[in-house]
């Protein structure tokens, strides 16, 4: 994939018609949930020139029409797949973002995120710093609730956001193409059934260098043990050496995963959902 036109950002956005979590709104209507998230996504991108790859996995025709309704044909490329699944669609995201020559900045997007209007302005401004490798828009509640995230982190105030380093996040994130090229081997393990947490902890090397975690906490905790076993299988060398890639997350959050049990803290998301619900046109 190459092109002469330049963009501020290239996005690979993957979507499928099923509901995997329990969303806080439209739990029985994925098309409406998708439109709600897509409206917030587009509004957050309003000041940017972007190229969008929409990866539709086993989606009815309404989903293609949804993207065509909200985005211009010139900057939109739709790829329709048949039952490819989570790992396969991520692999395609990786391929598209590595092979494109439109932008130095690339974004992996999942379909169940709701964004604040300033999300991309803050993220793209921040990632231009030399010590920022990855940026997540999501202040995950697990950072406050799981001992897995009890580690030393850095804090940096930039713009209107206080950023802090994190050990892991989900698979919605911003990075630099040059960083992705250097870390692609680890990300490719996601297509071979590795966990997102195992990949991120291998990249950031948070927690996994702790003797207490390796020989105390992880063996006793089923979740931590599974994460560690995946890490040991796919990237054991990361326990001992390699770059500590820096992943940063925002305070307050710039987006939330649409999982009722894991909404980002400190923001009245339900009020924002209701306000955006009034803008639904396509699936209304």
pLDDT for residue 3 is more than 60 = no
The pTM of the full predicted model, rounded to 2 decimals, is 0.96
Torsion of CA 243, 136, 73, 282, to 10 degrees: 160
> How far apart are alpha carbons 281 and 267 in whole angstroms?
25
Are the C-beta atoms of residues 230 and 201 closer than 8 Å to each other? no
In terms of phi and psi (left: phi > 0; alpha: psi -120 to 50; beta: otherwise), the region of 207 is: left
> How far apart are alpha carbons 16 and 163 in whole angstroms?
31
Tokens of 55: 């990866």
pLDDT of res. 1: 46
The architecture of the domain spanning 9-277 is Alpha-Beta Complex (3.90)
Please report which confidence band the pLDDT of residue 284 belongs to, taking 50, 70 and 90 as the band edges. Answer: low
pLDDT for residue 282 is more than 90 = no
> How far apart are alpha carbons 222 and 91 in whole angstroms?
28
> How far apart are alpha carbons 248 and 231 in whole angstroms?
21
> How far apart are alpha carbons 276 and 228 in whole angstroms?
40
Sheet hosting strand 155-158, strand order edge to edge:
76-81, 50-57, 9-15, 105-110, 173-176, 134-135, 247-251, 161-166, 155-158
Give the model confidence (pLDDT) of 141-178 as tens digits: 999 999 999 999 999 999 889 999 999 999 999 999 99
What is the b/e burial string over 155-190, where b = at least 16 CB atoms within 10 angstroms of the residue's CB? eeeeeebebbbbbbbbbbbbbbbebbeebeebbbbb
pLDDT for residue 19 is more than 70 = yes
């Amino acid at each position: 994939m190459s092109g002469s036109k330049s963009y501020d950002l290239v996005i690979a956005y993957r979507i499928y018609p099923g509901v995997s979590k329990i969303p806080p709104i439209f739990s029985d209507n994925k098309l409406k949930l998708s439109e709600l998230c897509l409206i917030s996504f587009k509004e957050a991108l309003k000041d940017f020139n972007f190229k969008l790859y929409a990866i539709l996995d086993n989606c009815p025709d309404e989903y293609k029409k949804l993207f065509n309704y909200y985005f211009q044909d010139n900057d939109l490329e739709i790829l329709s797949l048949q039952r490819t699944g989570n790992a396969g669609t991520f692999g395609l995201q990786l391929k598209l973002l590595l092979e494109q020559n439109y932008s130095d900045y690339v974004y992996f997007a999942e379909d169940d995120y709701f964004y604040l209007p300033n999300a991309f302005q803050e993220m793209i401004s921040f990632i231009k710093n030399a010590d920022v490798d990855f940026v997540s828009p999501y202040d995950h509640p697990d950072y406050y609730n799981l001992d897995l995230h009890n580690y030393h982190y850095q804090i940096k105030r930039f713009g209107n956001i206080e950023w802090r380093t994190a050990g892991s996040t989900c698979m919605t994130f911003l990075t630099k193409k040059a960083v992705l090229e250097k870390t692609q081997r680890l990300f490719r393990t996601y297509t071979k059934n590795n966990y997102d947490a195992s990949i991120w902890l291998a990249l950031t090397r948070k927690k996994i260098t702790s003797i207490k975690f390796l020989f105390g906490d992880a063996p006793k905790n089923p979740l931590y043990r599974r994460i560690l076993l995946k890490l040991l299988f796919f990237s054991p060398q990361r326990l001992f050496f390699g770059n500590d890639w820096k992943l940063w997350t925002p305070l307050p959050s710039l987006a939330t995963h649409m999982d009722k049990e894991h909404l980002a803290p400190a923001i009245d998301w339900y009020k924002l959902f209701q306000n955006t619900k009034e803008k639904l046109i396509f699936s209304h």
